[in-house]
Copies of this chain bind each other. A is one copy, B any other.
Amino acid sequence: MERPRVPTPSALDLALRSRGLRATPQRRLINDAVVVLGHATPEQVCLRVQEVAPTVSLSTVYRTLELLEELGVVSHTHLGHGAPTYHPADHADHIHLVCTRCGHIDEADVRLAAEFTERITGDNGFVLDPAHLSLHGLCAGCAGVREASAASRR
């Protein structure tokens, strides 16, 4: 008995269809790139996609990332002054610690913030997106340097 070959639609396809939107190769490739890269700026996503499909334009990447974010399959974080980085929405297992002095990015376990996010929600009704939590300050190295130079000034 011969079964027709019906490819299982991906989660992305389903999300698009349910909105009456189209599943295009570009959208699939851009989503794949975000998954593979883990974190990436729009530019990096574009370069990755262009390895396979060289004509995909940066503006399509921007439009698609915005769309994917609306669909809830990716999210973005501003790690610094530069371009934001995009990551899969379920890639929510760590917090970014951005050093404002040297630019180094540490990662912390998202569970550290669980209690904190609950308090915020309790007090303000604000539902924090932990994957979007980027914290700024001084990394261990730079905090040490500042400490040392403060000491030498005494």
Binding site for B on A (CB under 8 A): 77-78, 81, 84, 97, 99-100, 106, 108-109, 112-113, 115-116, 119-120, 123-129, 132-133, 135-140, 143-144
Contact in complex: A124, B138 (CB < 8 Å): no
**Residue from the list B113, B123, B136 in contact with A116, Cβ < 8 A:** B113
CA distance A136 to B71 in the complex (A): 17
CA distance A94 to B108 in the complex (A): 22
Contact in complex: A124, B108 (CB < 8 Å): yes
Main secondary structure of the interface of A (DSSP, over half): mixed
- State the copy count for this chain: 2
**Residue from the list B77, B113, B127, B140 in contact with A125, Cβ < 8 A:** B140
Residue of B nearest to A133 (CB): B135
Contact in complex: A124, B136 (CB < 8 Å): no
Contact in complex: B100, A126 (CB < 8 Å): no
Task: Please name all residues of chain B whose beta carbon is closer than 8 Å to the beta carbon of A125 when the two chains form the complex.
Answer: 139-140, 143-144
Residue of B nearest to A125 (CB): B140
Q: Check A112/B106 contact, CB under 8 A, given A128-B137, A129-B137, A140-B126.
A: no
Contact in complex: B120, A127 (CB < 8 Å): no
Contact in complex: A136, B128 (CB < 8 Å): yes
Residue of B nearest to A72 (CB): B146
A154 CB to closest chain B CB (Å) equals 14
**Residue from the list B116, B126, B139, B143 in contact with A106, Cβ < 8 A:** B126
CA distance A115 to B114 in the complex (A): 12
A56 CB to closest chain B CB (Å) equals 22
